[in-house]
Structure 1
């Protein structure tokens, strides 16, 4: 059954290290246990990624243990001035030493070296991001203290295999978390207000195949006085049981079928379009800033284009109501990784 919703609490993996019940859920019903994974430790990938943004600026934070490489990064993006900077620290062979929590709802992740202190803390109904990055860019430091409120609401949780492999993708994305706090770079301070600004969490655990291309898009805002967000994407394993395409409105998830990204060949800054198999997500996208990055180290290579811009079009809720978007700030990306 396509878009199979899983509601029963259960272990994620069976005795052979394969997903017991592939599908999607509104909350984490699968229990992740690293000791049940049957792949080599260097193939296990665990990450927490936060994006906090508004109409004018954004920041992204990653803490990850990708087996034979640890990747910790911070991005600062200024949409008005059309610039961004990403600073990444690589550490070889963490192999589980990061001790990433087995649950998205509790536990802390802390990274600390001579140059970077980055902490993610999960508390009841709230998430805290704290960062102190020395010599972040142009000799200037970056600091932030940001709180994300997490009210009771649906999220999108995915458990998908790679066909014929003991590889799997277990992921939760939480949209529409009101953001409050500040970040500073040099002598400029950027403020977030929970009345208008939101954060997103991308929490992932799994075993990936070596060569992957994925597409992901996400946005949050206030529409008709209510929080509205969306998550769209594909390329994360075998999605025959479910896709991760979903709309969020006033705390409730409205599941979509397939969404296709139409990216202009050779130029990510030209207008994109998005179409959907069920006709419920039809959008035009005007790029503002391409956070492009390429990386080559050891056995790893990455070509990333995370494009921030403004979405306009129509989304349809489960009950047939239309959500009209006009210049809705969000991002969409295409990423090709060998890792």
Structure 2
């Protein structure tokens, strides 16, 4: 198996010709996201309509899964929030499509700044602070006036490692992504008349920070989990496949106490005709053997003609084993996570 390329030198994402300056993965965000250097259309004015940028936050509490996203798809913005009750299975999601992404603010790099969208009905505000990453949501009309608000701090110390990847998609397109798992969460999550207090010893979050230029027709699988081992250590997984040239690197890793343990390419085995059947994950080196037993499927569809997206996101409990870089084999028992199948024309 060809070894994966670890990026260790900081630099620019794109060189003066618009090509990727480096390809591979890294433990820290080392590359400056200089999207202004992209060169994939002769008329540069049209390039912004093909660039995709998003910040997707996910938080697991003892009772719920909560997620909030701000995205700029070039020709439109998209903000959405959803919440899942583990005991009852109640899932509710709402979103807005914003023409030409007016009012959507996203920072240049994942290490800085504020991501924001606000109008008279909703406000989403994500910010990077010395303590970590703050996620604030205000949506009083959510679920027919039931209302939802969140004020959450995800602790992210400077030494926290993350799964960073940059890979080409064809000749001029690319995927640049940072996934941060296992961020202890504290604050409050209010849904209707209930307010849940989040404690960092039992609630945990993650970030999917994506930038890039995809093919018009795209497909991918992704799986993610963050939680706690019985001894109190944090443990998480980030697994993905389906698009781009991954010969230099995949985004497959498991995270133990804030440190990345890189895996080779991971295989997703599942039945696309029945997402409630178990999903299996295994790698080429025999370090990972996991099974996700589903308890809920979220289906999200957007169909605006030439713009189409369909996501089947399956929530379940992970069981199996994984081996660290140091050779420690850990049993994973009933770790809640999710996996998804995504088709898009965008």
Same fold per TM (> 0.5)? yes
Q: Name the SS of the counterpart of 1:232 in structure 2.
A: strand
Using the TM superposition, give the Cα deviation of residue 65 of structure 1 relative to its aligned residue in structure 2, in angstroms.
Answer: 0.8
- 1:222-266 deviation per Cα after TM superposition (whole angstroms, max 9, x unaligned): 113211111111124211100010111122211000111111231
Q: Name the SS of the counterpart of 2:108 in structure 1.
A: coil
Q: Name the SS of the counterpart of 1:137 in structure 2.
A: helix
Q: Which residue in 2 is equivalent to 1:252?
A: 259
Confirm or deny: 8 A CA contact 2:106 2:116 kept in the other structure.
Answer: no
Match of 1:173 among 154, 176, 179: 179
Q: Which residue in 1 is equivalent to 2:31?
A: 30
Q: Which aligned runs of 4 or more in structure 1 are off by greater than 2 angstroms?
A: none
Q: Which residue in 2 is equivalent to 1:8?
A: 9
Match of 1:219 among 225, 231, 234: 225
- 1:92-124 deviation per Cα after TM superposition (whole angstroms, max 9, x unaligned): 1128x6341111111001110111111001101
Confirm or deny: 8 A CA contact 1:54 1:329 kept in the other structure.
Answer: no
Q: Name the SS of the counterpart of 2:333 in structure 1.
A: strand
Q: Which residue in 2 is equivalent to 1:192?
A: 198
Using the TM superposition, give the Cα deviation of residue 169 of structure 1 relative to its aligned residue in structure 2, in angstroms.
Answer: 0.6
Between the aligned partners of 2:328 and 2:49, the Cα distance in structure 1 is: 47
Confirm or deny: 8 A CA contact 1:179 1:199 kept in the other structure.
Answer: yes
Between the aligned partners of 1:289 and 1:189, the Cα distance in structure 2 is: 23
- TM-score between the two structures when normalised by the length of structure 2: 0.94
Change (3 A) 1:236 1:265: closer
Between the aligned partners of 2:306 and 2:263, the Cα distance in structure 1 is: 36
Between the aligned partners of 1:79 and 1:3, the Cα distance in structure 2 is: 37
Confirm or deny: 8 A CA contact 2:85 2:91 kept in the other structure.
Answer: yes
Q: Which residue in 2 is equivalent to 1:202?
A: 208
Using the TM superposition, give the Cα deviation of residue 46 of structure 1 relative to its aligned residue in structure 2, in angstroms.
Answer: 0.8
Q: Which residue in 1 is equivalent to 2:68?
A: 61
Residue 309, structure 1, aligned to residue 310, structure 2: no
| 1:71-150 equivalence runs, <5 A | 71-94=78-101, 98-150=104-156
Residue 45, structure 1, aligned to residue 45, structure 2: no
Between the aligned partners of 1:188 and 1:55, the Cα distance in structure 2 is: 14
Between the aligned partners of 2:334 and 2:23, the Cα distance in structure 1 is: 35
Q: Which residue in 1 is equivalent to 2:283?
A: 276
Using the TM superposition, give the Cα deviation of residue 204 of structure 1 relative to its aligned residue in structure 2, in angstroms.
Answer: 1.0
Q: Which residue in 2 is equivalent to 1:333?
A: 340
Q: Name the SS of the counterpart of 1:48 in structure 2.
A: strand
Confirm or deny: 8 A CA contact 1:83 1:289 kept in the other structure.
Answer: no
Using the TM superposition, give the Cα deviation of residue 289 of structure 1 relative to its aligned residue in structure 2, in angstroms.
Answer: 1.1
Between the aligned partners of 1:187 and 1:267, the Cα distance in structure 2 is: 35
Q: Name the SS of the counterpart of 2:140 in structure 1.
A: strand
- 1:57-87 deviation per Cα after TM superposition (whole angstroms, max 9, x unaligned): 1110100111011000001111110121110
Between the aligned partners of 1:57 and 1:256, the Cα distance in structure 2 is: 29
Residue 286, structure 1, aligned to residue 293, structure 2: yes
Q: Name the SS of the counterpart of 2:141 in structure 1.
A: strand
Ranges in structure 1 where 5+ consecutive residues have no aligned partner: none
Confirm or deny: 8 A CA contact 2:105 2:116 kept in the other structure.
Answer: no
Between the aligned partners of 1:99 and 1:237, the Cα distance in structure 2 is: 27
C-alpha RMSD over aligned residues: 1.3
Between the aligned partners of 2:147 and 2:38, the Cα distance in structure 1 is: 39
Using the TM superposition, give the Cα deviation of residue 156 of structure 1 relative to its aligned residue in structure 2, in angstroms.
Answer: 0.5
**What is the number of residues matched between the two proteins?**
337
